[in-house]
Amino acid sequence: MRWSGGVPGLRWAGGRVSVLAYGQQVAFRAVGQRLCPGARGNPCPLAAVVSARAIGGQCPECARLDRVHSVAADTIADDPRTYRVYLAWFGPGMTKVGITGEERGDARLLEQGAVAFSWLGRGPLMAARRTEELLRHALKVPDRIPYERKRAVRHELPAPDARRHEIEALYRSAVALPAWGDTLEALPCEVRDHAEAFGLDGLPGLAGTVTELCDDGVVAGRLLAAAGPDLHLLDSEGRVLALDTRIVRGWGLVAVDPGHRVSVPVRKANTDVQDGLFPT
């Protein structure tokens, strides 16, 4: 899944992107085995087979290579680029703090499925990281929120004003903390909302989540919404299903009839993995 200009798309091996539009049909069948897609633009030297349920779908070697060069790993302390600290809102009581490269704009927020957000400050990487840690400990604001929690509340979000007020309250608490502004340039609180870009208005309740693909397994439905890596699809049986596109990575896909029945494992909403599988 890729977001460009506030629009979602699926990026294929080789770089081609299929732009997605709400209301269109998404229908494919997985073929063969799930193979590691490699790291940093390079194919996996082992052509390793990876677990169907693994998020991201990389073999350990390729995952380590990606991790070494990631901002989250704190291995590039001398990075000369400017970073921004943000406050992101995913649902009632679900706010987090994070950092992203300034040149990326709000792409990181779209990739995470942030319904609303505001910038807090900008500056060098390590200063941004220190501010992130300060907020985590002083305000008990997490730096991660599970995707299961994010997707579960998207169909019953409060009004935009309520979303904005929650971020504004967190912003006021953050700027009241001493010392963090000594190393970062403070930015004004200007809440931006992604609900329209995600297509969340009027989204029906979630019936289940695709847990994995399998050889000859079909996913098909009308695209209602997209947020972060997730597609929300209305299938031929009238169910709204969430597909985390990170579990699609590494599979070969072929087109099928949009009216085809979903035939991959699906976990019912609000149930555990063992007891909540729809028949396939």
User: How confident is the chain (280 residues) per 10-residue block, as mean pLDDT?
Assistant: 94 92 97 93 91 91 81 64 96 94 95 97 93 93 91 94 96 90 89 97 95 97 97 97 96 95 93 40
Tell me, what's the pLDDT at 69? Answer: 60
Helical (H) or strand (E) element with 116: strand 116-123
Tell me, what's the pLDDT at 278? Answer: 44
Residue-wise over 162-173: b if at least 16 C-beta within 10 A, else e? ebbebbeebbee
Tell me, what's the pLDDT at 75? Answer: 55
Tell me, what's the pLDDT at 213? Answer: 97
Between CA 262 and CA 268, with CA 267 as vertex, the angle to 5 degrees is 100
- The residues near 151 (Cβ < 8 Å, ≥ 6 apart) are 113, 206, 209, 227, 230, 232, 242
DSSP label of 55: S
Tell me, what's the pLDDT at 71? Answer: 61
100-107, long-range: CB < 8 A, 24+ apart: 100/71, 101/71, 106/192, 106/194, 107/3, 107/4
Structure tokens at 10: 């699926």
Tell me, what's the pLDDT at 28? Answer: 97
Tell me, what's the pLDDT at 272? Answer: 40
